[in-house]
Amino acid sequence: MVRWIDISVSNRQLKLYDASTLLKTYPIAVGKVLTPTPTGNYIIVNKEANPGGPFGVLWMGLSKPHYGIHGTNDPSSIGKEVSHGCVRMYNNDVTELSSMVPIGTNVYIHT
């Protein structure tokens, strides 16, 4: 099992793969023009349940400091360019995703 995450900023979609098999597609919110979501290859370095504030029920930190994949306390923001660069997901989606990916999972972010 080689799970990895593909994030398309322009499509506002996060896709979970196992090797070349697509397992699930999730809608996301991404960074706004002045605070874009950084493109590149990263890994999930930590997970924190109930981080508080705008981060919803779960935070998964990326190897780029201060950036992560997290839930939201504003579900109406999903599908939009509204964050400070992080990837926002519905709380139930980020909880499901976290249960399927371990720390160390590769995350590929592209336009």
86 catalytically annotated: yes
Whether pLDDT at 52 is above 90: no
pLDDT score of 53 more than 90: no
What average pLDDT does this structure show over 13-21?
A: 98
User: Out of 66, 70, 84, 110, which one is annotated catalytic?
Assistant: 70
Q: What is the pLDDT of residue 1?
A: 78
Q: 66, 84, 86, 110: which one is catalytic?
A: 86
Q: What is the pLDDT of residue 94?
A: 98
- Enter the pTM of the model: 0.97
Does residue 110 have an active-site annotation?
no
Other residues' Cβ atoms within 10 Å of the Cβ of residue 61: 21
- CB-side neighbour CA atoms (13 Å) of 83: 31
